[in-house]
Amino acid sequence: MRFFFCLLALILLRLPLAAQPGRPTLPLGAAPADSGAVLVFNNWYLPRYQATAAGAADTTGALLSLFRKRRYAGLLYFIPYMAGMCLALPISTTDSQGQQHKTGEAVSPPLGSAVLAATVVGFIVHANRFNKSHLLAIDRGYAAGQPVPARYRRLLNDRHFAEAALLRTGLAQQMAREQASAAPTP
Amino acid sequence: MIKQLLLAALLALGLRPAAAQTPAPGEPLASQQLKQHLRGQYLHSDTAQAIITLYSRRQAGGVSWMVGATLSALRLGLGSSTSNPGNSPYYTAGSDGSGNMGGAFLIATPLVGYGLAKLLHYSNAHLQAVLTNYAAGQPLPHALRRKLKPRFFRTPIVTYKPVKYKPA
Protein backbone atom coordinates (compact mmCIF):
# COMPACT_ATOMS: atom_id res chain seq x y z
CA MET A 1 0.00 0.00 0.00
CA ARG A 2 2.74 2.38 0.98
CA PHE A 3 4.67 1.65 -2.16
CA PHE A 4 1.54 2.22 -4.16
CA PHE A 5 1.29 5.69 -2.64
CA CYS A 6 4.96 6.33 -3.37
CA LEU A 7 4.49 5.33 -6.98
CA LEU A 8 1.40 7.50 -7.21
CA ALA A 9 3.34 10.43 -5.75
CA LEU A 10 6.16 9.88 -8.22
CA ILE A 11 3.76 9.83 -11.14
CA LEU A 12 1.97 12.95 -9.93
CA LEU A 13 5.25 14.76 -9.35
CA ARG A 14 6.24 14.34 -12.93
CA LEU A 15 3.26 16.24 -14.21
CA PRO A 16 4.48 19.81 -13.66
CA LEU A 17 7.70 19.04 -15.49
CA ALA A 18 5.97 17.29 -18.37
CA ALA A 19 3.35 19.92 -18.98
CA GLN A 20 5.56 22.55 -20.53
CA PRO A 21 4.54 24.39 -23.66
CA GLY A 22 6.55 24.62 -26.82
CA ARG A 23 8.49 21.40 -26.58
CA PRO A 24 10.31 20.43 -29.74
CA THR A 25 9.17 17.25 -31.39
CA LEU A 26 12.15 15.14 -32.28
CA PRO A 27 11.48 12.15 -34.49
CA LEU A 28 12.15 8.87 -32.74
CA GLY A 29 15.56 7.45 -33.39
CA ALA A 30 16.77 10.63 -35.07
CA ALA A 31 20.43 10.50 -34.20
CA PRO A 32 23.13 13.00 -35.08
CA ALA A 33 26.61 12.68 -36.43
CA ASP A 34 28.88 9.74 -35.72
CA SER A 35 30.40 9.99 -32.26
CA GLY A 36 32.56 6.88 -32.38
CA ALA A 37 32.46 4.15 -29.78
CA VAL A 38 32.38 5.47 -26.23
CA LEU A 39 31.92 4.32 -22.67
CA VAL A 40 29.03 6.11 -20.95
CA PHE A 41 27.45 6.07 -17.51
CA ASN A 42 29.17 3.41 -15.47
CA ASN A 43 31.55 2.31 -18.25
CA TRP A 44 28.81 0.87 -20.45
CA TYR A 45 29.94 0.30 -24.00
CA LEU A 46 28.10 2.29 -26.64
CA PRO A 47 29.14 1.33 -30.20
CA ARG A 48 29.39 3.90 -32.94
CA TYR A 49 26.34 4.62 -34.99
CA GLN A 50 26.18 6.28 -38.37
CA ALA A 51 22.82 7.62 -39.42
CA THR A 52 22.34 6.45 -42.98
CA ALA A 53 19.98 7.65 -45.64
CA ALA A 54 18.27 4.26 -45.49
CA GLY A 55 17.34 5.14 -41.92
CA ALA A 56 18.70 2.21 -39.94
CA ALA A 57 17.46 2.57 -36.38
CA ASP A 58 19.94 3.09 -33.56
CA THR A 59 19.54 -0.44 -32.21
CA THR A 60 22.73 -0.46 -30.15
CA GLY A 61 21.82 2.79 -28.42
CA ALA A 62 18.31 1.51 -27.67
CA LEU A 63 19.80 -1.68 -26.25
CA LEU A 64 21.99 0.35 -23.91
CA SER A 65 18.96 2.35 -22.81
CA LEU A 66 17.01 -0.87 -22.23
CA PHE A 67 19.79 -2.46 -20.20
CA ARG A 68 20.32 0.60 -18.07
CA LYS A 69 16.63 0.94 -17.33
CA ARG A 70 16.28 -2.71 -16.43
CA ARG A 71 19.31 -2.56 -14.15
CA TYR A 72 17.68 0.30 -12.22
CA ALA A 73 14.39 -1.61 -12.12
CA GLY A 74 16.22 -4.40 -10.30
CA LEU A 75 15.82 -2.28 -7.14
CA LEU A 76 12.14 -3.26 -7.21
CA TYR A 77 13.13 -6.78 -6.14
CA PHE A 78 13.45 -5.19 -2.71
CA ILE A 79 9.63 -5.21 -2.39
CA PRO A 80 9.03 -8.98 -2.63
CA TYR A 81 12.18 -9.43 -0.54
CA MET A 82 10.67 -7.37 2.29
CA ALA A 83 7.35 -9.19 1.92
CA GLY A 84 9.12 -12.53 2.20
CA MET A 85 11.05 -11.37 5.28
CA CYS A 86 7.84 -10.18 6.95
CA LEU A 87 6.21 -13.54 6.34
CA ALA A 88 9.15 -15.73 7.25
CA LEU A 89 10.37 -14.04 10.44
CA PRO A 90 8.45 -13.27 13.64
CA ILE A 91 7.25 -9.68 13.89
CA SER A 92 7.92 -7.59 16.98
CA THR A 93 5.65 -4.77 18.06
CA THR A 94 5.96 -2.07 20.71
CA ASP A 95 2.93 -1.06 22.77
CA SER A 96 2.24 2.35 24.26
CA GLN A 97 4.21 1.49 27.44
CA GLY A 98 7.28 0.82 25.37
CA GLN A 99 7.20 -2.91 25.97
CA GLN A 100 8.37 -4.98 23.10
CA HIS A 101 6.24 -7.95 22.21
CA LYS A 102 7.57 -10.51 19.85
CA THR A 103 5.09 -12.84 18.27
CA GLY A 104 5.97 -16.41 19.02
CA GLU A 105 5.55 -17.53 15.47
CA ALA A 106 6.01 -15.96 12.10
CA VAL A 107 3.00 -15.50 9.87
CA SER A 108 3.93 -18.25 7.49
CA PRO A 109 7.53 -19.43 7.42
CA PRO A 110 7.09 -21.86 4.50
CA LEU A 111 5.39 -19.27 2.30
CA GLY A 112 7.87 -16.61 3.38
CA SER A 113 10.86 -18.79 2.62
CA ALA A 114 9.39 -19.66 -0.75
CA VAL A 115 8.90 -15.97 -1.57
CA LEU A 116 12.42 -15.18 -0.37
CA ALA A 117 13.98 -17.97 -2.38
CA ALA A 118 12.03 -17.00 -5.49
CA THR A 119 13.05 -13.38 -5.06
CA VAL A 120 16.73 -14.15 -4.65
CA VAL A 121 16.75 -16.52 -7.62
CA GLY A 122 14.73 -14.05 -9.68
CA PHE A 123 17.11 -11.23 -8.85
CA ILE A 124 20.15 -13.26 -9.82
CA VAL A 125 18.53 -14.24 -13.11
CA HIS A 126 17.53 -10.63 -13.75
CA ALA A 127 20.96 -9.22 -12.92
CA ASN A 128 22.59 -11.83 -15.09
CA ARG A 129 20.26 -11.19 -17.98
CA PHE A 130 20.97 -7.45 -18.05
CA ASN A 131 24.67 -7.76 -17.61
CA LYS A 132 27.35 -5.51 -19.01
CA SER A 133 29.20 -8.38 -20.66
CA HIS A 134 26.00 -9.71 -22.21
CA LEU A 135 25.35 -6.32 -23.76
CA LEU A 136 28.90 -6.29 -25.07
CA ALA A 137 28.40 -9.74 -26.61
CA ILE A 138 25.15 -8.65 -28.26
CA ASP A 139 26.82 -5.51 -29.61
CA ARG A 140 29.72 -7.52 -31.03
CA GLY A 141 27.35 -9.97 -32.69
CA TYR A 142 25.24 -7.12 -34.06
CA ALA A 143 28.31 -5.47 -35.55
CA ALA A 144 29.22 -8.79 -37.12
CA GLY A 145 25.80 -8.96 -38.77
CA GLN A 146 23.98 -11.29 -36.41
CA PRO A 147 20.48 -10.28 -35.33
CA VAL A 148 19.76 -9.19 -31.78
CA PRO A 149 18.47 -12.20 -29.80
CA ALA A 150 14.67 -12.26 -29.83
CA ARG A 151 14.38 -12.15 -26.04
CA TYR A 152 16.07 -8.76 -25.99
CA ARG A 153 14.60 -7.50 -29.26
CA ARG A 154 11.09 -8.09 -27.98
CA LEU A 155 11.70 -5.71 -25.06
CA LEU A 156 12.78 -2.75 -27.19
CA ASN A 157 10.21 0.01 -27.59
CA ASP A 158 9.95 3.57 -28.90
CA ARG A 159 11.03 5.11 -25.63
CA HIS A 160 14.35 3.29 -25.70
CA PHE A 161 15.04 4.62 -29.17
CA ALA A 162 14.05 8.13 -28.09
CA GLU A 163 16.41 7.95 -25.12
CA ALA A 164 19.16 6.62 -27.34
CA ALA A 165 18.68 9.61 -29.63
CA LEU A 166 18.91 11.90 -26.61
CA LEU A 167 22.13 10.25 -25.53
CA ARG A 168 23.70 10.39 -29.00
CA THR A 169 22.74 14.03 -29.46
CA GLY A 170 24.10 14.87 -26.04
CA LEU A 171 27.37 13.14 -26.90
CA ALA A 172 27.62 15.03 -30.18
CA GLN A 173 26.98 18.33 -28.38
CA GLN A 174 29.59 17.57 -25.74
CA MET A 175 32.16 16.64 -28.41
CA ALA A 176 31.39 19.77 -30.41
CA ARG A 177 31.92 21.89 -27.32
CA GLU A 178 35.19 20.16 -26.51
CA GLN A 179 36.43 20.67 -30.05
CA ALA A 180 35.48 24.32 -29.97
CA SER A 181 37.30 24.88 -26.70
CA ALA A 182 40.37 22.94 -27.92
CA ALA A 183 40.60 24.95 -31.14
CA PRO A 184 42.80 28.06 -30.91
CA THR A 185 40.74 31.18 -30.74
CA PRO A 186 41.67 33.77 -33.36
CA MET B 1 15.96 -1.65 12.61
CA ILE B 2 17.17 -3.79 9.73
CA LYS B 3 14.14 -2.74 7.75
CA GLN B 4 14.93 0.94 8.28
CA LEU B 5 18.59 0.48 7.41
CA LEU B 6 17.67 -1.38 4.24
CA LEU B 7 15.15 1.27 3.31
CA ALA B 8 17.69 4.02 3.89
CA ALA B 9 20.24 2.16 1.79
CA LEU B 10 17.68 1.66 -0.95
CA LEU B 11 16.80 5.33 -0.99
CA ALA B 12 20.43 6.37 -0.93
CA LEU B 13 21.27 4.04 -3.78
CA GLY B 14 18.18 4.83 -5.77
CA LEU B 15 18.06 8.59 -5.54
CA ARG B 16 21.69 9.68 -5.55
CA PRO B 17 22.71 8.42 -9.01
CA ALA B 18 19.47 9.78 -10.41
CA ALA B 19 20.47 13.30 -9.41
CA ALA B 20 24.09 13.01 -10.46
CA GLN B 21 23.72 11.65 -13.98
CA THR B 22 22.95 13.28 -17.26
CA PRO B 23 20.47 12.64 -18.70
CA ALA B 24 18.70 11.98 -15.41
CA PRO B 25 16.78 8.72 -15.60
CA GLY B 26 13.72 10.06 -13.80
CA GLU B 27 13.20 13.17 -15.88
CA PRO B 28 10.34 13.06 -18.39
CA LEU B 29 11.35 12.61 -21.98
CA ALA B 30 9.73 15.84 -23.16
CA SER B 31 11.63 17.89 -20.59
CA GLN B 32 14.92 16.23 -21.52
CA GLN B 33 14.28 16.86 -25.20
CA LEU B 34 13.48 20.50 -24.54
CA LYS B 35 16.71 20.96 -22.58
CA GLN B 36 18.68 19.24 -25.31
CA HIS B 37 17.10 21.49 -27.90
CA LEU B 38 18.09 24.55 -25.86
CA ARG B 39 21.62 23.20 -25.38
CA GLY B 40 21.94 22.79 -29.13
CA GLN B 41 20.57 26.25 -29.73
CA TYR B 42 23.14 27.91 -27.45
CA LEU B 43 25.86 25.32 -27.93
CA HIS B 44 28.88 27.62 -27.72
CA SER B 45 27.71 29.80 -24.87
CA ASP B 46 29.19 28.53 -21.62
CA THR B 47 26.82 30.65 -19.56
CA ALA B 48 23.74 29.27 -21.31
CA GLN B 49 24.97 25.71 -20.71
CA ALA B 50 25.59 26.49 -17.05
CA ILE B 51 22.10 27.98 -16.71
CA ILE B 52 20.55 24.83 -18.21
CA THR B 53 22.59 22.66 -15.85
CA LEU B 54 21.52 24.82 -12.90
CA TYR B 55 17.86 24.48 -13.86
CA SER B 56 18.07 20.68 -14.26
CA ARG B 57 19.74 20.36 -10.87
CA ARG B 58 17.17 22.56 -9.17
CA GLN B 59 14.29 20.70 -10.80
CA ALA B 60 15.71 17.38 -9.62
CA GLY B 61 16.13 18.94 -6.19
CA GLY B 62 12.50 20.05 -6.13
CA VAL B 63 11.31 16.56 -7.05
CA SER B 64 13.48 14.94 -4.39
CA TRP B 65 12.21 17.34 -1.71
CA MET B 66 8.65 16.41 -2.59
CA VAL B 67 9.35 12.68 -2.75
CA GLY B 68 11.31 12.78 0.50
CA ALA B 69 8.59 14.71 2.30
CA THR B 70 5.89 12.38 1.02
CA LEU B 71 7.83 9.27 2.06
CA SER B 72 8.55 10.68 5.52
CA ALA B 73 4.93 11.67 5.96
CA LEU B 74 3.81 8.18 5.04
CA ARG B 75 6.34 6.70 7.43
CA LEU B 76 5.19 8.98 10.24
CA GLY B 77 1.52 8.73 9.46
CA LEU B 78 0.96 5.09 8.59
CA GLY B 79 3.83 3.20 10.09
CA SER B 80 3.35 2.64 13.78
CA SER B 81 6.94 2.44 14.88
CA THR B 82 7.57 -1.19 15.63
CA SER B 83 11.03 -0.75 17.03
CA ASN B 84 12.47 0.90 20.08
CA PRO B 85 16.16 1.32 19.43
CA GLY B 86 18.16 0.70 22.56
CA ASN B 87 15.00 0.04 24.62
CA SER B 88 14.87 3.67 25.67
CA PRO B 89 12.62 4.22 28.72
CA TYR B 90 11.55 7.59 27.29
CA TYR B 91 10.28 5.98 24.15
CA THR B 92 6.58 6.43 23.55
CA ALA B 93 4.75 5.11 20.59
CA GLY B 94 1.63 6.78 19.24
CA SER B 95 -1.56 6.81 21.32
CA ASP B 96 -2.70 3.39 20.26
CA GLY B 97 0.38 2.29 18.44
CA SER B 98 -0.84 3.70 15.16
CA GLY B 99 0.62 6.74 13.50
CA ASN B 100 -0.52 10.32 13.56
CA MET B 101 -1.70 11.25 10.11
CA GLY B 102 -2.54 14.87 10.96
CA GLY B 103 0.87 15.58 12.47
CA ALA B 104 2.61 13.97 9.55
CA PHE B 105 0.56 16.09 7.18
CA LEU B 106 1.50 19.24 9.10
CA ILE B 107 5.19 18.40 8.96
CA ALA B 108 5.18 17.36 5.32
CA THR B 109 3.15 20.22 3.87
CA PRO B 110 5.82 22.97 4.10
CA LEU B 111 8.47 20.59 2.77
CA VAL B 112 6.30 19.59 -0.19
CA GLY B 113 5.52 23.24 -0.69
CA TYR B 114 9.21 24.07 -0.75
CA GLY B 115 9.83 21.43 -3.40
CA LEU B 116 6.86 22.59 -5.43
CA ALA B 117 8.04 26.21 -5.22
CA LYS B 118 11.41 25.07 -6.54
CA LEU B 119 9.77 23.25 -9.42
CA LEU B 120 7.65 26.27 -10.28
CA HIS B 121 10.48 28.79 -9.94
CA TYR B 122 12.92 26.71 -11.99
CA SER B 123 10.38 25.66 -14.61
CA ASN B 124 11.29 24.97 -18.20
CA ALA B 125 9.20 27.91 -19.40
CA HIS B 126 11.20 30.22 -17.15
CA LEU B 127 14.42 28.67 -18.42
CA GLN B 128 13.40 29.38 -22.01
CA ALA B 129 12.54 32.97 -21.15
CA VAL B 130 15.85 33.54 -19.36
CA LEU B 131 17.86 32.11 -22.24
CA THR B 132 15.95 34.11 -24.83
CA ASN B 133 16.56 37.32 -22.91
CA TYR B 134 20.22 36.49 -22.43
CA ALA B 135 20.66 35.75 -26.13
CA ALA B 136 18.98 39.07 -26.92
CA GLY B 137 21.77 40.80 -25.03
CA GLN B 138 20.05 41.61 -21.78
CA PRO B 139 22.04 41.06 -18.60
CA LEU B 140 21.18 38.09 -16.42
CA PRO B 141 18.99 38.77 -13.40
CA HIS B 142 21.10 39.39 -10.31
CA ALA B 143 19.56 36.46 -8.38
CA LEU B 144 20.35 34.06 -11.20
CA ARG B 145 23.90 35.37 -11.64
CA ARG B 146 24.56 34.76 -7.95
CA LYS B 147 23.37 31.16 -8.28
CA LEU B 148 25.72 30.32 -11.17
CA LYS B 149 28.63 28.56 -9.49
CA PRO B 150 31.81 27.35 -11.18
CA ARG B 151 30.69 23.74 -10.81
CA PHE B 152 27.82 24.37 -13.23
CA PHE B 153 30.35 25.58 -15.80
CA ARG B 154 32.50 22.50 -15.27
CA THR B 155 29.66 19.96 -15.63
CA PRO B 156 29.80 18.24 -19.03
CA ILE B 157 26.62 17.58 -21.00
CA VAL B 158 27.36 13.85 -21.09
CA THR B 159 30.29 12.20 -19.35
CA TYR B 160 31.99 9.73 -21.64
CA LYS B 161 35.26 7.96 -22.30
CA PRO B 162 36.30 7.44 -25.90
CA VAL B 163 37.18 3.91 -26.95
CA LYS B 164 40.15 3.31 -29.19
CA TYR B 165 38.92 1.73 -32.38
CA LYS B 166 40.83 -1.38 -33.34
CA PRO B 167 40.13 -2.71 -36.84
CA ALA B 168 39.70 -6.44 -36.54
pLDDT tens for residues B146-156?
A: 999 999 999 99
Residue B102 within any structural domain of the chain: yes
Pick the residue from chain A with its C-alpha nearest to B128.
A22
Collapsed DSSP state (helix, strand, coil) of residue B45: coil
pLDDT of residue B5: 55
Max Cα distance, chain B (Å) = 72
Instruction: State the average pLDDT for chain B.
Output: 81
Which chain A positions have a beta carbon within 8 Å of B94's beta carbon?
96
Residue B12: the pLDDT is: 53
Mutate which of B49, B160, B164, B165 to test chain A, going by most A C-beta atoms within 10 A? B160
> Can you give the residue range of the structural domain that contains B117?
29-82+97-154
Range with the poorest average pLDDT among A18-22, A108-112, B15-19, B48-52: A18-22
In a domain, B5, yes or no: no
Partner residue facing A26 (CB), from B33, B39, B82: B33
Assign B3 a pLDDT band (cuts: 50, 70, 90): low
Query: What pLDDT was estimated at residue A64?
Result: 92
pLDDT at A19 over 60: no
The reported pLDDT for the residue numbered A185 is 59
From chain B, pick out residues whose CB is under 8 angstroms from the CB of A68.
25
Contact state of A91 with B125 under an 8 Å Cβ cutoff? no
Contact at 8 Å (CB) between B68 and B111? yes
Sign of CA dihedral A182, A40, A57, B52: negative
Domain count, chain B: 1
- Phi first, then psi: give them for residue A93, nearest 5 degrees: -125, 155
Measure A53 CA to nearest chain B CA, in Å: 22
Higher pLDDT, A3 or A90: A90
pTM: 0.74
**CB-CB neighbors (< 8 A) of A72 in chain B:** 14, 25
Q: What is the pLDDT of residue A101?
A: 75
Asked if the structure places residue B78 within a domain, the reply is yes
CB < 8 Å to A43, chain B: 161
Residue A15 burial (C-beta neighbours within 10 Å; 0-12, 13-18, 19+): exposed
B29 to chain A: which residues are within 8 Å by CB?
159, 162-163, 166
Kindly state whether residue B24 falls inside one of the protein's structural domains.
no
Q: What is the ipTM of this complex?
A: 0.72
Q: Is B23 within a domain?
A: no
Min distance A161 CA to chain B CA atoms (Å): 11
| pLDDT (tens digit per residue) in A133-184 | 999 999 999 989 999 999 999 999 999 999 988 988 898 899 899 888 887 6
* Inter-chain residue contact A13 with B125, CB threshold 8 Å: no
What is the average pLDDT across B65-75?
A: 92
Kindly report the nearest CA distance between residue B51 and chain A, in angstroms: 16
Q: What is the mean pLDDT of residues A26-34?
A: 51
Residue B115 within any structural domain of the chain: yes
Is residue B40, in this structure, part of any structural domain at all? yes
Q: Is residue B135 part of a domain?
A: yes
